[in-house]
Amino acid sequence: MKAKKFKLSNFEIPHDLRDKAQSIETQIGELSGVNAVRVDPFAQTVTVDFNEGEVSEKEITSILEENQFM
């Protein structure tokens, strides 16, 4: 298992924080091989614990980029 912290962007508007954090947790958490997702909207990071044999760092990054979180 691997833990990786990703730097986020587009969290300028405070009322968006909770909605965006929940969206990230849901989208990344649904990936097979992801064990945990922790979003820190104030630090603008997401830490993902995942099994490298099931999901890659590149796949996680792609989802974050496609949804304009990075």
pTM: 0.86
What is the SS3 assignment for 52? coil
Q: What is the CATH number of the domain that holds 27?
A: 3.30.70.100
Q: Give all strands of the β-sheet with 2-7 in edge-to-edge order.
A: 2-7, 45-50, 34-40
Looking at the chain, list the stretches that DSSP marks H as alpha helix, in order from N- to C-terminal side: 17-29, 57-66
Average confidence (pLDDT) over 8-21: 71
pLDDT, one tens digit per residue, over 15-70 is 667 778 888 899 999 999 999 999 987 788 999 999 999 999 999 999 999 988 88
Overall domain count for the chain? 1
pLDDT reading at 12 higher than 80: no
Between 3 and 69, whose confidence is greater? 3
CA-to-CA distance for 28 and 48, rounded, in angstroms? 8
Between 56 and 1, whose confidence is greater? 56
